[in-house]
Chains A and B, each alone.
Chain A
Amino acid sequence: DAGITQSPRYKITETGRQVTLMCHQTWSHSYMFWYRQDLGHGLRLIYYSAAADITDKGEVPDGYVVSRSKTENFPLTLESATRSQTSVYFCASRPGSNTGELFFGEGSRLTVL
């Protein structure tokens, strides 16, 4: 089915471990985004990408790494997970520029012990 899929949906890890969250979209949208959702903070942008091989920082990029070698994939890596990175992570995509509808995945719930 067409759409945006995230994996894993749930992940428990320990402090200091490396974790990668995957995001795949089938629409060939140019823009892809990673958000984290925490109670009281809403959705905060971690990183975004305007096209393959083009990425840029959002509001809260520290501790995260992204890459985009293919248009359809946008993985998010926590190089050394910390408890403060316990959150629900959402990947999103959009075909055009800064206005217009964002299409979200169903989220990846990450717990760092």
Chain B
Amino acid sequence: QQQVKQSPQSLIVQKGGIPIINCAYENTAFDYFPWYQQFPGKGPALLIAIRPDVSEKKEGRFTISFNKSAKQFSLHIMDSQPGDSATYFCAASSSASKIIFGSGTRLSIRP
């Protein structure tokens, strides 16, 4: 049973555009929602994370929007750059459950 659904599977955006990656979860006990960024040949690394007591979190050009009632959260990348080209994974967990990852989004930023 896939508990975290991520879309789209791939995304191409022009430099300066705002790619948006969406995730939906099922388990209402989840209380920690991180995003991981992975470059080719490397392991994933934590990019930004949010807890459900806030609706938005910004770190630099990266923003998480969180909708608790809809059980959805999304990643927005402002002023996207070619160096942002990577695979992005959303994830969810709680103190009582292991972290569950989405299926990943391969993002390509065209110059």
Contacts and interface: CB of A to CB of B under 8 A. Distances in A.
Given A41-B103, A42-B102, A99 B93 contact: yes
A104 B36 CA distance: 10
Interface residues of B, number: 25
A102 B46 CA distance: 7
A112 B89 CA distance: 26
A99 B50 CA distance: 11
B44 A90 contact: yes
B98 interface: yes
Main secondary structure of the interface of A (DSSP, over half): loop
A104 B101 CA distance: 14
Contacts of A40: 9, 103
Contacts of A41: 103
Interface in B45-66: 45-46, 49
A92 B43 contact: yes
A101 B97 contact: no
Nearest to B93: A98
Interface string A22-43: 0000000000000100001111
A90 B104 CA distance: 15
A102 B99 contact: yes
A30 to B, nearest CB: 14
Nearest to A56: B98
Contact of B43 (A45, A97, A105): A105
B3 to A, nearest CB: 10
B91 to A, nearest CB: 8
B94 A99 contact: yes
**A-B pairs, 5 with minimum CB distance:** A104-B43, A99-B32, A42-B103, A43-B101, A101-B46
Given A45-B98, A99-B95, 13 more contacts: A41-B103, A42-B89, A44-B101, A90-B44, A98-B94, A98-B95, A98-B96, A99-B31, A99-B32, A99-B93, A104-B45, A106-B42, A107-B43
